């Protein structure tokens, strides 16, 4: 019986079996590399892990933090429910009942009065303080008062109508002006001051009420507009009244220009033709403005209608129409003609019959 390698391969071929076995080995190796077991569950490396990819890596040990526990309470310590005994020196223990209550907001500190507020007493003016005003565009201010009346040295009061909201410094200046300058002026007229006509005081607005203008001193409560000063005898000193004596108005002009930094009246602009503006505006180098023209009195104009007939005048006689041939009218007209030459130097003029 003959035997050869070629006959063996042809009769007992295992090529197919060898190929299937090789594929199974390759798949087993791949699964061992791609899906290794969890490192926590294995103590040793995989037998087929040639490169050591599946070898478990050691991890650092996590130590738990140790929190110290409080020491045990000694047996001789008093119980928490028991109250602490009072001190030996007789001092009472502090009250801890409100210790757990939330802290209340402390009241705001009281605002200290200014030097002007301390000087403006009730013997000078009735001017209670009012809260600060904070308006738009720096409007308002602090240290404000409501000037209701000015107390004269003889304890009589000059009412400010209506009451003016001013800064304390402006109210003090108005009070000094009335007490020291206007009282002697009223005394020269044989009376005393009763009212001060307040035309305008605090108002949050621009100058002359023009839109977009700079903030007026009225908006800062630092100005007062005055129209007249009324006396106790009923007379009124109109500061812009041209029928008032020029000397009196000039005396008022000199007094206000010496006390206030701004004085505006007739002649300054057409906004101040019927009142006087007074303020204490601060300017560089203490610059002052005094623009007030004291106009002459208006000329007297003859009345358009004749004066009324006095009651004591005799009644007017209505003469009847003269009859024809009656010479009474000729005698009446000739009588003044006879007397005329003596008055005209001897020259005679024809008699003229009057019309009735």
Give residue limits of the domains in the chain. 133-291
CB of 185 closer than 8 Å to CB of 251: yes
Other CB atoms within 10 Å distance of the CB of residue 255 = 17
- For the segment 201-252, what is each residue's pLDDT rounded down to a tens digit? 999 988 888 877 889 999 999 999 999 999 999 999 999 999 889 999 999 9
From the candidate CATH numbers 3.10.450, 3.40.390, 2.20.25, 3.30.1380, the one assigned to the domain spanning 133-291: 3.30.1380
Structure tokens at 268: 């300054």
Mean pLDDT over the full length of the chain: 76
Other beta carbons within 10 angstroms of residue 108's beta carbon come to 6
The answer to whether the beta carbons of residues 169 and 116 sit under 8 Å apart is: yes
Please state, as a whole number, how many other Cβ atoms lie within 10 Å of the Cβ of residue 171.
28
Over residues 304-327, the pLDDT tens digits come to 777 788 888 887 765 455 555 555
Residue scoring higher pLDDT (76 or 154)? 154
Q: Which residues contact 352 (CB under 8 A, 6 or more apart)?
A: 333
Burial of 190 (0-12, 13-18, 19+ CB in 10 A): exposed
Name the band, by pLDDT with cuts 50, 70 and 90, for residue 70: confident
d(C-alpha 126, C-alpha 158), whole Å? 10
Give the pLDDT band of residue 35 (cuts 50, 70, 90).
Answer: low
């Amino acid at each position: 019986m003959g035997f050869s390698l070629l006959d063996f391969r042809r009769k007992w071929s295992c090529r197919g079996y060898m190929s299937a076995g090789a594929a199974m080995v390759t798949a087993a190796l791949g699964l061992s590399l791609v899906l290794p077991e969890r490192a926590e569950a294995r103590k040793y490396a995989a037998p087929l892990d040639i490169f050591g990819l599946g070898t478990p890596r050691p991890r650092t040990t996590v130590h738990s933090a140790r929190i110290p526990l409080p020491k045990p309470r000694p047996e001789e310590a008093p119980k928490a429910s028991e109250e602490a005994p009072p001190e030996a020196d007789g001092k009472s223990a502090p009250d801890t009942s409100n210790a757990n209550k939330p802290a209340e907001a402390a009241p705001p500190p009281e605002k200290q009065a200014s030097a002007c507020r301390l000087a403006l007493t009730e013997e000078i003016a009735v001017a209670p303080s009012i809260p600060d005003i904070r308006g738009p565009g720096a409007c308002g201010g602090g240290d404000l008062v409501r000037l209701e009346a000015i107390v004269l040295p003889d304890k009589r009061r000059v009412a400010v109508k209506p009451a003016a909201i001013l800064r304390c410094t402006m109210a003090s200046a108005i009070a000094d002006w009335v007490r020291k300058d206007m009282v002697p002026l009223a005394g020269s007229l044989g009376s005393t001051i009763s009212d001060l006509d307040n035309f305008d005081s605090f108002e949050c607005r621009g100058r002359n009420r023009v839109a977009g203008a700079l903030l007026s001193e009225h908006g800062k409560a630092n100005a007062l507009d005055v129209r007249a000063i009324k006396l106790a005898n009923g007379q009124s000193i109109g500061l812009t009244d041209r029928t008032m004596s020029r000397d009196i108005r000039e005396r008022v002009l000199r007094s206000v220009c010496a006390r206030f930094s701004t004085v505006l009246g007739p002649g300054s602009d057409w906004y101040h033709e019927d009142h006087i503006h007074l303020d204490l505006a601060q300017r560089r180098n203490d610059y002052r403005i005094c623009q007030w023209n004291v106009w002459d009195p208006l000329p007297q104009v003859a009345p358009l209608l004749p004066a009324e007939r006095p009651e004591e005048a005799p009644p007017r006689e209505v003469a009847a129409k003269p009859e024809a041939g009656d010479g009474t009218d000729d005698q009446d007209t000739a009588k003044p003609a006879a007397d005329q030459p003596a008055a005209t130097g001897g020259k005679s003029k024809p008699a003229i019959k009057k019309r009735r």
